[in-house]
Homo-oligomer: A and B are copies of this chain.
Amino acid sequence: MGVSLKDVAQRAGVSVKTVSNVVNDYPHVTPAMRARVQQAIDELGYRPNLTARHLRKGRTGIIALAVPELGNPYFAELASAVIDAAARHHYTVLLDHTAGMREKEMLVCQGFQTHVIDGLILSPIELENQDLHGRTDTSPLVLLGEREYDAPYDHIAIDNVAAARSAVRHLIAIGRQRIAFLGARAESARQPAHLRLRGWREELSAAGLPHDDSLVAPTDGYGRADGAQAMATLLDRGVRPDAVFAYNDLQAIGAMRVLGERGLRVPQDVAVVGFDDIEESRFGAITLTTVAPDKQAIARQAVNCVISRLTDSAEAEPRRLRPGHDLVVRESTLGRHQ
């Protein structure tokens, strides 16, 4: 094994406690003693064994983040922000992905890596209420995203309905009337996209436009290919929208690809709005108008929630936080030269 506290103590001719004091910057250590111990530490190349420390303290300083898919830039960017936010509090992040599968989501929230993670931030897709109620693990759990649960856990999500409405409002403002919604979930009993779909419906109603269900295109997944396929299906059915509001940027990008293949111009023939504001949306041949959730805020709030549950003795009520969002208008609705 490696060098332990005891080895250092022996070398310096002091007790283990003294070495521990030095390592932990305990204030009441004479400079001379500190120097002597430090020398022994350096000579031996001592590194504290954090596993032992964790066992003793009952805390590891590691929090887990579970997202559906790291290949989705939204989650990659979010993960990046969470890692940074956690680092600012001296926490480390253990990252996992669930592929949006209920099984995996349950596994993760049931406390994988027992006692090695202090808390969990989970962005669920298929998880059900009952799965959450069955949770026995006692470490803090923070939920992220559009799904709503009535379980006593902190939940962080932007106002999806309002955000979706702002997107649709923008499309109406530029004169669009037949606005398709891409990305309703095809075969899921629950509807993960329900809030954005509701926003679409509400804003159309508010504008006195019908919400024609033939304009709602289901998808199986949340990727570019799913958006492309949904768009193609819609067009193949003879539906001809003058705008598309997609569940997320990836689907919007897939849809734009298909529109291009079919000779339809964006935005002249069909305007497109996405959701997430991933960096990719700022650099395509046609940049994408999109709803931009404040990812930094989401990450920060999520980490803060976990840490405050860990730190504050008071078991407060579950919190419901709403980070901000913005509509970022780009070429896919306004065209290149505006």
Residue positions of A touching B, CB distance < 8 A = 1-2, 45, 47-52, 54-55, 58, 60, 62, 69-71, 73, 76-77, 79-80, 83, 92-97, 111, 113-116, 136-138, 223-225, 228, 253-254, 256-257, 260, 279-280, 282-286
SS of A interface (majority): mixed
Are A257 and B283 neighbours in the complex by a CB distance under 8 Å?
yes
Among residues of B, the one whose C-beta sits closest to the C-beta of A258 is B283
Among residues of B, the one whose C-beta sits closest to the C-beta of A50 is B116
* Minimum distance in angstroms from A144 CB to a CB of chain B: 16
- A92-B94 in contact given A50-B116, A137-B47 (Cβ < 8 Å): yes
* Minimum distance in angstroms from A49 CB to a CB of chain B: 4
Among residues of B, the one whose C-beta sits closest to the C-beta of A253 is B283
CA–CA, A97 and B115, complex, Å: 24
Instruction: List 13 other contacts, CB 8 Å, given A49-B114, A71-B80.
Output: A47-B115, A50-B115, A50-B116, A54-B116, A73-B76, A73-B280, A93-B95, A94-B94, A224-B279, A224-B283, A225-B283, A256-B285, A260-B285
Are B60 and A71 neighbours in the complex by a CB distance under 8 Å?
no
Identify which of B47, B60, B95, B116 contacts A111 (C-beta below 8 A). B47
CA–CA, A1 and B224, complex, Å: 46
- A97-B111 in contact given A2-B138, A55-B51, A254-B283 (Cβ < 8 Å): no
- A47-B114 in contact given A95-B95, A256-B285, A284-B284 (Cβ < 8 Å): yes
